Amino acid sequence: MQERFLPTLRTARYFTIGLEQAAEVWIVCHGYGQLAARFLERFRPIAEDQRYVVAPEGLSRFYLSETAVERRVGASWMTREDRLHEIDDYVRYLDALHNEVAAGKMKVTALGFSQGTAAVCRWAVLGIGAQIDRLIIWGGEVPPDLDLGDPRAVERLRQTRLTLVYGDRDEFFTAKVVAATEARLREHDIRYELLSYEGGHEIDAATLRKLL
């Protein structure tokens, strides 16, 4: 048996709120099993004349349950199967999305939630041509496989304003994971801000407003 690969075109879906002409754009990447439209609703309070919010959807969709009467659908950025090609695909996707929605914008913020944190971190480091002014990692970590020993990766992260956001009752991004992420960033002299809130693994509206 031989494993072979064939590059092919793929139609990607994204949703937006706010004015396309706004000077500032937020590109927000959802977590595992979410859909972009529902995720984007969390950001409606910050969409305004000067802020355009864009939610790309992961390229891999699947049914969340086999037993429910109405089988809900979710999306994923990647799995462990053929992961390197999936990473390449979504980095190119986010590059293309940036070119589509962020051209001429004064400020670009990339926010990743849960699984989406790995997506935006890899995009910030591996993407081509996208200038990310602010990188917000919410309820997740800088992916362990992202080589911070690579000077190019470190420089890319240093060029952004990096913010870690976590809830004090987050069952996934626990205090232990937060501490390990902070230690890793400090080891490579990558500056960051830390913002916590009372809550779990969710987008907290009050904390979101604080980020403004």
Domains of the chain in sequence order: 14-210 (3.40.50.1820)
Q: How far apart are the first and last CA of the chain?
A: 53
- Let me know: does 34 contact 76? Beta carbons within 8 Å: no
Q: What is the pLDDT of residues 10-33, one digit of tens each?
A: 899 999 999 888 889 999 999 999
Tell me what the mean pLDDT of segment 75-85 comes to.
92
Pairing label, strands 193-197, 161-167: parallel
At 76 the pLDDT is 95
**pLDDT, tens digit, 9 for 90 and up, residues 120-140:** 999 999 999 888 999 999 999
Check if the beta carbon of residue 153 is closer than 8 Å to that of residue 127.
no
* Cα(45)–Cα(42) distance, integer angstroms: 7
Lowest average pLDDT, out of 18-22, 67-71, 202-206, goes to 67-71
Query: 166 — phi, psi (to 5°)?
Result: -150, 150
